[in-house]
Amino acid sequence: MTRREVELLAIGAGPSNLGLAAALEELAPDLADNTLIIDRNPTIEWQSGLLLPWAKSQVSFLKDLVTLRNPRSRFTFLNFLKSTGRLDDFINLGNQSPYRLEISAYLNWVAESLARVRVELGQTCVSIDPVRSATGTLTGWVTRLADGSSIASRYLVIATGRDPNIPPVLAGLPPNRVIHSTRYRPGIAGLQRQLPYRLALIGSSQSAAEVFRALRTDLPDSDVAWVMRSIGPTADPSSKFTNELYYPSYVDEFFDTPATGRALIRQELYKTNYSCMTPAMLQSLYTDFYRDRLNHRYDRRLITMTEVTAAREDNGEVVLELTDRKSGAVSELRRDMVFLGTGFNWQPPKLVQGLADAIGLDRVEVTRGYRLQIDEPTEAACYLQGINEATHGIGDSLLSVLAHRAKDITLDVLAHRAAMQDGTGVRATAHGANTLEQIAGR
């Protein structure tokens, strides 16, 4: 089978690696010429499972792939609007938060606008193996694809996102009965709109709220029971003060904080990003419930303070065991389908964990420059994007820090290459060598 070689292989053509591609083209054009991005999907779409016509981004358009790093970049969202003839309309709308469809179109435009970095779609990564020299030194990676071909690289950047969180209690249900929010659109496409399905929705996040709202249109005659552990849907409690902890400039302070302090900060900020929704979404939901009551429709309802404690399939039905957290009372809920707005798994993605196991790492940790810590001399390096909240702060999985992170990784790769060229070698430490200035000042 075919085996190709590149200097840098980036897995995942989402915002993180497209932001990296823009940074490489502007800061390291020679490296960009030998960089390849692959993605398993046939098209570039942002949050494709919930790419709904009314869904909006929750952050400013200025937090695009490049603006916070380089406002003069040709890859800005504003340049996308200008290039596609929509700048006047966007300005006239008077809203800083674009529709999700616009962000998705912007990402595709960036991919098509790249002059040096190549992007290949429909390429599914099956596994990654380390490559070692005769003396045992790690020298690179071989990424194996589903078509049997492989790609060798010295540098690897993984930005595939976290794996969807399927609660263990539901793991035994047939996959066609459980639809996570990341698969909402393809999952709903296989259902007949006119049928009165009995549906359960589990979770209390923004994604759960979006699924609940979408079901009103997509399956309008269905009975929907929305089950959540909390006392009810709540709005994001963030403020301009807490939003400062999402700044790229806060990453250094968070990284240098002891682990116990980091955990405390994450606990304090949890509800600003998880198990909550935007005030606008909350108002929309309550308005919909109000109108349902006005029209004497009670088949779309909330079941709060309730835990799903068991699940099974019985004669073509999904049977959920519900335990009331207030009283301990147990009841059954029989449904045709279960939708999940349960977010993502906190553990490293399977692809990353498989790579760590292949190297022999006890745990997955990265340097300040997002380089996987490998406790041995190495001529290769691997970088992880979007899964480092424990060390880099709550903004790590969001657009907020993406542009600066792309610069950090680019400079760290250049520093590593410089160390290889002068023969000093590199071992990844907690802070790593993050700038060319650090290399020059050795």
Q: CA-to-CA distance for 82 and 393, rounded, in angstroms?
A: 33
- pLDDT of 435 above 70: no
CA-angle at 403, arms to 401 and 406, nearest 5° = 105
* Cα pseudo-dihedral 341, 345, 350, 355, rounded to 10: 150
pLDDT, position 45: 94
The band of 428, judged by pLDDT with boundaries at 50, 70 and 90, is low
pLDDT, position 424: 61
Average pLDDT on 296-319 reads 96
Domain ranges of the chain: 3-163+345-440, 168-236+277-340
Average pLDDT on 179-204 reads 96
Q: CA-to-CA distance for 14 and 19, rounded, in angstroms?
A: 8
Pick the CATH number of 3-163+345-440 from 2.40.50.140, 3.50.50.60, 3.30.565.10, 3.30.1360.30: 3.50.50.60
The band of 420, judged by pLDDT with boundaries at 50, 70 and 90, is confident
pTM assigned to the model: 0.92
Under 8 Å between Cβ of 227 and 322: yes
CATH 1.10.580.10 fits 168-236+277-340, yes or no: no
Average pLDDT on 254-275 reads 94
| Fold: same for 3-163+345-440 and 168-236+277-340 | yes
Take residue 20 and report the two structure tokens written for it.
């990296």
Q: CA-to-CA distance for 206 and 277, rounded, in angstroms?
A: 4
Q: CA-to-CA distance for 245 and 265, rounded, in angstroms?
A: 10
